Structure formats: structure tokens, C-alpha cells
Amino acid sequence: MRKLKLSMGVLAIAFAALTVMSCKDNKKEHDDSDGHHTEMDSEVNHMEMKNESEEHHHEDADDEHDGGSAAESRDIKVSTQKNAATSAIIDGYLQIKNGLVADNKDNAAKGGTALLAAFSNFDMSQLNEEQHKSYMDIVEDAKEQAEHIVKSPIDHQREHFETLSTDISDLIALLGTDKTLYQDYCPMKKVSWLSETKDIKNPFFGSEMLTCGSVKKQIN
């Protein structure tokens, strides 16, 4: 009799365990049908998110190499000298800027060609060792942006102009200029650019939002 009671008790426990498992399975099926994630789904999704994150990281790294943010980490000793030697470079940059303001891809491309020529003609013999190193870092990136601007559609020209603006600002900080310039800021793109006029003419949006932005500071 005692053995029978024990056997019945074991069967009861087994039945209860099966019932609990069945409930869990039913809940799992219900959750699945309602669109909730199972534990396995969560692990799969976690791996997918991780892979996507790594892919975005590699894409961002490629973008930085191609479209550039190398300028963000530069440590430049700011020069206050009025240096006419940078004028041709700045003129090429401003030609690009004015082409984008006018929504004119061809004029922006011509500015890119002029900028590349200005870099080629720049006399580096005037630079000291520290300046030379920083100059080469700036110009390497700026040339890449200018080359893209020469051959790209206008939306890509504007993307490369963002990084180019940082490059030219760094170049002016490094070597100075005798020009009066204004550093303008676009709150929509959260980027700055240089202009020869105090009036806001936004190169990132052109006629779409021509006066979007504000003057942050005057140079000279």
C-alpha cells in the first residue's frame, strides 16, 4: 500500500511537471503568435544587431577614410599672421562654396580643380618642420575631398564640402590669411563653412534654404 502511494505520488509529480512544460510551450506558442520574441529569437536578434553594428562601424570607418573626419583630431597651434600665401587655396575653396550656393555642380567642380592647382603651386619652403607636418596632413585630406568634388553629383559635392571646410579652417588656423572671412554655422547640418561675405548663403542647401545659418565669428 505504501509502495502504491509512493508510485501515485511519483506519477502526480510527473504529471504536474508535464503540465507546467505544456503551459510553457503554449505560452511560447502564444507569444510567438503575438509577435513576442522567444529566448532563442532574442539571442538571434542580439547577434543580428551585433553584426549590423559591426557593419555600420566598418561603413563609418570607410566613410571617414573616403569622406573624412581625420581633421577632427588635429592639434594645431593657431597662427594670427596675415599670410597672403594661402589666398589661392582659399579662393579655390570659395569658388566651390559659391557653386554650391548657386546649386551649380559645374562651377563647384571648377572650384575643386582650382583648389587642386593651388595646392600644387603652394610654396612649402616657407614652412617650418612643425607646420610642414600639419600642412601635409591637412592637404592630403583636402585634396581627396577636392578630387571627389570635381567628379561627383552635387549632393556628394556637398558631403565632401563639409570635411573640406574643416580642412581649410585648419589650414587658416595653421598658416593665417590676409583675407577677411566669416565662419558660418548651419544648424540643420550642424557643420560650419567659411564665407567672404557677412550675408548667410548656405552651400549645403542652396536655394532650398539659402539663408539658413548664422555667423559665428569673423577672421581678420
Share of the chain above pLDDT 90, in %: 62
- Its pTM stands at 0.68
C-alpha–C-alpha distance, residues 38 and 46, integer Å: 12
The string of pLDDT tens digits covering residues 111-121 is 999 999 999 99
- Strands laid side by side in the 191-195 sheet: 191-195, 181-186, 214-219
13 located within any domain: no
Q: Which residue range(s) make up the domain with 169? A: 85-219
Q: Indicate the SS3 state at residue 218.
A: strand
159 located within any domain: yes
The answer for residues whose C-beta is within 8 angstroms of residue 125's C-beta and 6 or more apart is none
The string of pLDDT tens digits covering residues 65-119 is 344 444 456 778 787 789 999 999 999 999 999 999 999 999 999 999 999 999 9
26 located within any domain: no
The string of pLDDT tens digits covering residues 13-70 is 444 444 334 333 433 443 444 444 444 444 444 444 444 444 443 444 344 334 444 4
45 located within any domain: no
Number of domains comprising the chain = 1
C-alpha cell, 10: 511519483
The string of pLDDT tens digits covering residues 186-218 is 999 999 999 999 999 999 999 999 999 999 999
209 located within any domain: yes
158-162's contacts with Cβ under 8 Å and 24+ in sequence apart are 158/100, 158/203, 158/204, 159/67, 160/67, 160/68, 161/96, 161/97, 161/100, 161/108, 161/193, 161/203, 161/204, 162/67, 162/189, 162/191, 162/204
Q: What is the mean pLDDT of residues 127-142?
A: 95
33 located within any domain: no
19 located within any domain: no
Q: What are phi and psi of 111, to 5 degrees?
A: -65, -40
177 located within any domain: yes
